[in-house]
Amino acid sequence: MKRLFSLFFVVLLAVGIVGCSESSGGSDDEVVLGIALPSATHGWMGALIQNAEDQAKALVEDGTIDDYVFTTADSTAAQANNVEDLIAQGVDAIVMLPIESEALSPAGQKIADEGIPLVILDRELTNDAATVVVKGDNTGIGINAGKFFVEQLGGSGKVVEIAGPPSSVTNQRSEGFRESIEGSDIEILASQNGEFSTETSLSVMQNVLTAHPEIDAVYTQDDGMALGVIQAIKEANRTDIKFVTGAGGAKDVYEIIQEDGLIKATFLYSPLMSKDAIKVGADLANGKDPESAEMVIPATPVTIDNVEDHYDSEAAF
């Protein structure tokens, strides 16, 4: 009787082991997408984050991927830690928007070294770790803004640049602007970091206005920063500044352009690009080869002449 019971126990144990092995194998077969973004609840970045999560949910619902791990961070160190966690969880691909290009390049390299496909969104790394880059035409924003300045100022004037934090986005928008005004008599009086923040840009512009009693126009690299800049100009009762430009395509800025207000132009840089990045990430997670190593959204100028074609009163951004 004891021998019979022992045999039954061995058979039962064997069945249990096989069952666990099958369950574990099913888990390994799941396609999981990792997502590492900055933190934001409003503005362009807030809209981008919401678009990314909406797209990830839709891909789970239609069966393209089995699951996703969504992380946000408010510092470069926190984002690097999030990347480490995604690697440890064994995700099949990662979509990352680096808070800062240089600071997050080592994290991107770790992803590549692990053999995990990497989609970089918006701000590029300083190395070649990315499998695919999805971005707006940052150089094009600068070039188109520069053309607008040359045209509106008749090729001569004193201007200020309110730029973003250290990143490929900031560098390209600055370089494009300078390339476009080269050969004109437009002088850049100052270039300050507005951190892609309305509040920071308000404070920075207040200092710029104190330092420079005569300014013809202001080139800002972001619609949110443009809103902070015009607030500072209005509070200082400055009438010398003829216009301000932004970038991004925010509804609030469109409304100012429609009213022929101080912001005269912006340049498209849609937060919907995160949906494209998530789709590309899902394809890579499923083992598909990318169609291209780069996806670039055009930097279409929006002025009073065509703002009605782009304005949506129901838009979240």
Residues 117 and 149 in one domain: no
Tell whether 70 is covered by a domain. Answer: yes
pLDDT in tens, 256-306: 999 999 999 999 998 889 999 999 999 999 999 999 999 998 999 999 999
Residues 74 and 186 in one domain: no
Residues 148 and 220 in one domain: yes
If you count DSSP H runs as helices and E runs as strands, how many of each does the chain have, helices first? 11, 12
CA distances from 215 to 18, 109, 253, 294, 311 (A): 76, 43, 21, 38, 29
Question: Whose CA is closest to 188, among 196, 179, 197?
Answer: 179
Predicted confidence band at 44 (pLDDT cuts at 50, 70, 90)? Answer: confident
Q: What is the CA radius of gyration of the chain?
A: 25
- Residue 23 is predicted with a pLDDT of 28
Across residues 155-165, what is the average pLDDT? Answer: 97
Residues 248 and 148 in one domain: yes
Residues 216 and 261 in one domain: yes
pLDDT in tens, 116-128: 999 999 999 999 9
Residues 166 and 264 in one domain: yes
Q: Which domain holds residue 131?
A: 31-135+271-297
- Residue 28 is predicted with a pLDDT of 67
> Positive or negative, the Cα torsion across 139, 144, 145, 151?
positive
Tell whether 4 is covered by a domain. Answer: no
Predicted confidence band at 26 (pLDDT cuts at 50, 70, 90)? Answer: very low
Domain count across the chain: 2
pLDDT in tens, 212-260: 999 999 999 999 999 999 999 999 999 999 999 999 999 999 999 999 9
- Residue 315 is predicted with a pLDDT of 77
Distance in angstroms (rounded) separating the CA atoms of residues 92 and 69: 11
Looking at per-residue confidence, does 317 or 281 come out higher? Answer: 281
C-beta of residue 219 within 8 angstroms of C-beta of residue 242: no
- Residue 2 is predicted with a pLDDT of 40
Tell whether 148 is covered by a domain. Answer: yes
DSSP 289: P
Q: Which CATH number goes with the domain that contains 109?
A: 3.40.50.2300
Mean pLDDT rounded to a whole number for the chain: 91
Tell whether 10 is covered by a domain. Answer: no
Tell whether 60 is covered by a domain. Answer: yes
Tell whether 39 is covered by a domain. Answer: yes
pLDDT in tens, 138-147: 999 999 999 9
CB atoms closer than 10 angstroms to residue 37: 25
pLDDT in tens, 161-216: 999 998 888 999 999 999 999 999 999 999 999 999 999 999 999 999 999 999 99
Residues 110 and 145 in one domain: no
Across residues 81-86, what is the average pLDDT? Answer: 98
- Residue 167 is predicted with a pLDDT of 86
pLDDT in tens, 100-121: 999 999 999 999 999 999 999 9
pTM: 0.75
Is pLDDT of 24 > 60? no
Residues 120 and 215 in one domain: no
